[in-house]
């Protein structure tokens, strides 16, 4: 068990830094690079454990990846039909994204494969992917009614369908589109609201015929994918922890460079600005089809707000750190329409509530969200991460504004997305120790 010990810094946080490559884009880049013809060079890639499990699953199916574990990779594509039957169960660790996307890929293979994960991933439902794949003629079997891992997919020839997703989910949409690569005809996904759009952007870049019309995405099957150069921007979900720390610790000024600014992912910045945060976004540009830029924050007095509806899918992973910011805002902040957080690495509505209450914050858990009263004077606490990297990192940031020494237990999970998190905080002047 790794422990983080955190104290409020003697002075404000100061500095300029980068964060690991965006995890969502990295997953998709290595998968499409594997399915393409020729080489795909990925720069700035995630080095977190979630991504590595996805990449290693592809290696187990015959894909050669040079420099795996480094930010810059070379993927030797095998083409749409070049994957080979893995000799063993594919271990996805804690990567729900990797598992759901690979279920879509495996739907079009000529073999059956079983995917498994750690204790946390074994609690996460795969029925939301299994249901549309079944409509495409693909058999997916898991454990219980929610089709939890281990999950077996029997590859075949998927049929093109039009599928209306019950929730806005990029993972579900992506799994269907990846299966649609192997279908004759056009596969269509219609969502009830916007979700992150990295898959459709990247499919088009690799040569697939993709059409986006509002909340509807159409993909022509059986394309020829060609290897590409993919430059991965910094992960905004990782940057969120450093940016909120800069907003909450007095006299701070923090800049995170080369951050993803895709509008389907950047809602947290808009919400924080609405709360009164001093945020400057500059050096905006498009690289490889994705917007990126540099973000500077200064310590700010915040006001409460309400968050819900279409904003939630655009910042779902950032709800715990937003909730921490809300504990320091004047008034009552309401977060709703976020029931999806109950089936993440932990039940994040429950674990966020438990964690913030441990620091002395006033938080009320709702079926689909949180109500937070602020501002609250936080007192150091000993916090269990519940094996959830977002909870662990939020607790560490809370420790920077709490009186006394905060202890965050079981923080090995942080390596799934942000291996250098503690060092990054330290570089800004935070008092962070590890044992």
What is the set of active-site residues? Answer: 317
Q: Which residues contact 354 (CB under 8 A, 6 or more apart)?
A: none
Buried b (16+ CB within 10 A) or exposed e, 131-143: ebbeebebebebe
Q: What is the DSSP letter of 37?
A: B
User: Is the separation of the CB atoms in 314 and 266 below 8 Å?
Assistant: yes
User: Is the separation of the CB atoms in 430 and 13 below 8 Å?
Assistant: yes
Q: Which residues contact 170 (CB under 8 A, 6 or more apart)?
A: 24, 195, 196, 197, 198, 199, 264, 313
279: Cα separation from own chain's centroid: 22
40: Cα separation from own chain's centroid: 22
Distance CA 73, CA 45 (A): 7
Give the residue carrying structure tokens 């404000």: 12
Where is 105: in which H helix or E strand?
Answer: helix 96-106
């Amino acid at each position: 068990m790794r422990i983080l010990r955190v104290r409020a810094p003697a002075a404000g946080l100061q500095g300029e830094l980068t964060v690991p490559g965006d995890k969502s884009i990295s997953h998709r880049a290595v998968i499409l690079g594997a399915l393409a013809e020729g080489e795909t060079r990925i720069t700035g890639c995630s080095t977190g454990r979630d991504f590595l499990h996805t990449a290693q699953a592809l290696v187990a199916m015959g894909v050669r990846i040079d420099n795996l574990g480094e930010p810059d990779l070379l993927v030797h594509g095998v083409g749409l039909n070049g994957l080979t039957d893995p000799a063993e169960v594919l271990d996805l660790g804690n990567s729900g994204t990797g598992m759901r996307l690979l279920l879509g890929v495996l739907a079009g293979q000529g073999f059956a494969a079983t995917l498994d994960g750690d204790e946390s991933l074994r609690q996460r439902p795969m029925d939301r992917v299994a249901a549309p794949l079944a409509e495409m003629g693909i058999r997916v079997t898991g454990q219980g009614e929610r089709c939890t891992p281990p999950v077996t997919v029997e590859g075949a020839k998927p049929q093109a369908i039009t599928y209306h997703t019950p929730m806005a989910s990029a993972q579900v949409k992506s799994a269907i589109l990846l299966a649609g690569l192997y279908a004759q005809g056009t596969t269509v996904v219609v969502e009830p609201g916007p979700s992150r759009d990295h898959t459709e952007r990247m499919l088009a870049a690799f040569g697939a015929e993709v059409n986006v019309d509002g909340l509807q995405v159409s993909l022509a099957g059986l394309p020829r994918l060609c290897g590409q150069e993919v430059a991965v921007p910094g992960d905004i979900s990782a940057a969120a922890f450093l940016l909120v720390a800069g907003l909450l610790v007095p006299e701070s000024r923090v800049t995170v460079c080369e951050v993803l600014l895709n509008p389907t992912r950047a809602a947290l910045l808009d919400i924080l600005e609405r709360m009164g945060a001093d945020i400057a976004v500059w050096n905006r540009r498009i690289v490889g089809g994705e917007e990126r830029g540099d973000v500077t924050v200064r310590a700010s007095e915040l006001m409460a707000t309400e968050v819900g509806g279409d904003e939630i899918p655009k910042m779902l992973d950032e709800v715990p750190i937003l909730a921490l910011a809300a504990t320091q805002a004047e008034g009552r902040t309401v977060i709703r329409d976020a029931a999806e957080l109950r089936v993440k690495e932990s039940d994040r509505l429950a674990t966020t509530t438990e964690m913030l209450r441990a620091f002395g914050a006033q938080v009320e858990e709702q079926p689909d969200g949180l109500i937070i009263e602020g501002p609250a004077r936080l007192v150091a606490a000993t916090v269990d991460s519940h094996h959830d990297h977002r909870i662990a990192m939020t607790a560490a940031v809370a420790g920077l504004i709490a009186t006394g020494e905060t202890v965050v237990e079981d923080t090995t999970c942080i390596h799934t997305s942000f291996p250098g998190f503690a060092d990054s905080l330290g570089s800004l002047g935070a008092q962070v120790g590890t044992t």
